[in-house]
Amino acid sequence: MWPISSPTWLLPWAIWRFRNMPGPKPVGTPKEIPAWAWGFLKWAGWKRKGSPPPRPASLPTAPIPDKIPQAYWTVLKQLNMAVPVAPPPPPPPPPNPIPPNSWTLPNPMVFTAWGWRTDSDFRDTTAALQKMAAAGVRTVGLQGGYFDAVHAQNCRDFGMKVFVWGEPNTRDAEWLELAQADGYMPQIEGYWQYVATLARLEEGVGKGLALSTVTTLAGFDTYTSRPDGTADGEQTTTQYESLVDVGCTHGWIECYIGDMQPLGVDVMAYHAKQRGFYYSNPLIGLARPDVHISTYQATGLDHYGRQYGCYLAETMTAQDWIDLAG
């Protein structure tokens, strides 16, 4: 039986035990610990774990009464205050958790190229940006080497985010600085552009900015399986996984209809998934005069709401701007 009143040595001794016995026993601890005290220690440890079933058994060497005297509930409370119960450790993360989306700029968005310097419709920068704003454009792409700082600032004056895109170049960091860019989007349309993109990202170009690549998926050609820990070891490519390793998990996937390639939105989304992309959005090609936003709607564009981009703003028709406004 446990004594009705707990002896004064019990609490400091229990604290010492639950602290893994640092130093000598507390002063006043009996030389021989009675069996009931070992029963208290066993019961207290069980209660500190949340009382998981079954209740610890009462043994001759560690008796535990069916009804615990009130004095020992008080000792347990004091013990928990002195040696707080640590929360259970969180479950370990999967070996290969899905990384976050590296592209965080808002949509819809438009790409621009030569227009800021040479296109007649863009000579009045305010008029061009008013057209974009009326269509609800929230992000504008500036091609490296084809814009001035004032063009980026004008976009921001209209409340739009700005990113720099183009074939990866050793001057990309310079152009990002010129634009005070919110995002960086090197182009991958073949193996060597992939190699150059990886080199720029490994150098830290675009670090801290929203990151993506604009791609036809050419260059993402070495198929493999996800590392252990992902669902079913799904298919990916070594090229995409290497971009993930340097922080780029998103792709703007080029979609074309017409003489170029009959590759609509759903088809390209499927191919992006096969190459490993966790995150992607369609970038619809509007360079041909007979291809419009409406042309892509039957190929799956409607599945994306307004989460898509247009290439290029310079070649968009009046109807395209109306359709982009939705």
Res. 324: pLDDT tops 90: yes
Enumerate the H helices of the chain as residue ranges: 10-18, 35-48, 70-82, 115-118, 125-134, 149-157, 172-179, 191-202, 238-245, 265-274, 293-297, 318-325
**Span 205-224, pLDDT tens digits:** 999 999 999 999 999 999 99
Q: What mean pLDDT comes out for the span 113-140? A: 89
State the pLDDT at residue 232: 57
Structural domains in the chain, CATH included, are 10-82 (no CATH), 109-325 (3.20.20.70)
More confident residue, 142 or 298: 142
Alpha helices per DSSP H over 124-246: 125-134, 149-157, 172-179, 191-202, 238-245
pLDDT per residue over 9-47, tens digit each? Answer: 999 999 999 999 988 999 999 999 999 999 999 999 999
- pLDDT at 93 > cutoff 80: no
Phi and psi (nearest 5°) for 214?
-100, 125
Instruction: Grade residue 133 by pLDDT with cuts at 50, 70 and 90.
Output: very high
Cis peptide before 54 (omega within 30 of 0): yes
The per-residue pLDDT for 252 is 98
Residue 258 has a pLDDT of 72
Residue 275's nearest CA partner among 232, 224, 201, 227 is: 224
For the ranges 49-53, 141-145, 257-261, the lowest mean pLDDT is seen at 257-261
Q: Is the pLDDT of residue 234 over 90?
A: no
| 266 vs 230 pLDDT, higher one | 266
Between 46-50, 226-230, 280-284, the lowest mean confidence (pLDDT) is in 226-230
**What is the average pLDDT value for the chain, to the nearest integer?**
93
Kindly indicate the confidence band of residue 132, based on its pLDDT and cuts at 50, 70 and 90.
Answer: very high
pLDDT tens-digit profile of 95-105? 677 899 999 99
pTM of the model: 0.72
Model confidence at 262: pLDDT above 70: no
